[in-house]
């Protein structure tokens, strides 16, 4: 039986052996076969799956989403279904971008607020008995 050790696989995938162990333990990556001496042996397919996991994580997919995607890819998924999943993720990212831009605009607006309004606002959070603390 020929294959890569966990260390070799980790180097080729750009991940730590601990990450690979975690993916196995959590069921995201299948448990590999073992050599006669007990070493885990990984295939080129395992490397492809690990690179997919790494890329998907960098694109914002959760491990749960990645596990579901791997299960779908392992089934008879067609090209259109895969594209639909990608479209859904793009829509989710667009929503996050819109929300972050709204927050950014709100914060930028706060910087344009006149100083006396900011001071009055801050006073409303101070204890009512702390007179003489105005600057």
| pLDDT tens by residue, 56-66 | 999 888 999 89
- For the cut 90, the answer to whether the pLDDT of residue 12 exceeds it is yes
DSSP 59: T
Chain-centre distance of CA 87, in angstroms?
17
Contacts 24+ apart (CB under 8 A), 16-20: 20/50
In the chain, the DSSP E strands lie at 33-34, 40-41
For the CA atoms of 72, 78, 79, 82, the dihedral, rounded to the nearest 10 degrees, stands at -30
C-alpha–C-alpha distance, residues 123 and 34, integer Å: 68
The confidence score (pLDDT) of residue 134 equals: 52
pLDDT digits (tens, 9 = 90+) for 14-66: 999 999 999 999 999 988 988 888 889 999 999 999 999 999 999 888 999 89
pTM over 0.95: no
Upper half-sphere CA count for residue 111 (Cβ side, 13 Å): 6
Contact predicate 44/10, CB 8 Å: no
Residue range 77-101: mean pLDDT, rounded: 91
């Amino acid at each position: 039986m020929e294959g890569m050790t966990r260390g070799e696989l980790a180097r080729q995938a750009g991940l730590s052996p601990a990450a690979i162990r975690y993916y196995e333990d959590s069921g995201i990556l299948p448990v590999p076969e073992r050599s006669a001496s007990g070493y885990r042996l990984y295939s080129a397919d395992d490397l492809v799956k690990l690179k997919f996991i790494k890329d998907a994580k960098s694109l914002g997919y959760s491990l749960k989403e990645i596990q579901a995607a791997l299960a779908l890819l392992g089934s008879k998924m067609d090209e259109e279904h895969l594209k639909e999943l990608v479209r859904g993720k793009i829509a989710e990212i667009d929503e996050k971008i819109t929300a972050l831009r709204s927050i950014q605009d709100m914060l930028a607006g706060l910087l344009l607020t006149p100083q006396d309004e900011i001071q009055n606002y801050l006073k409303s959070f101070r204890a009512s008995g702390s007179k003489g603390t105005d600057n």
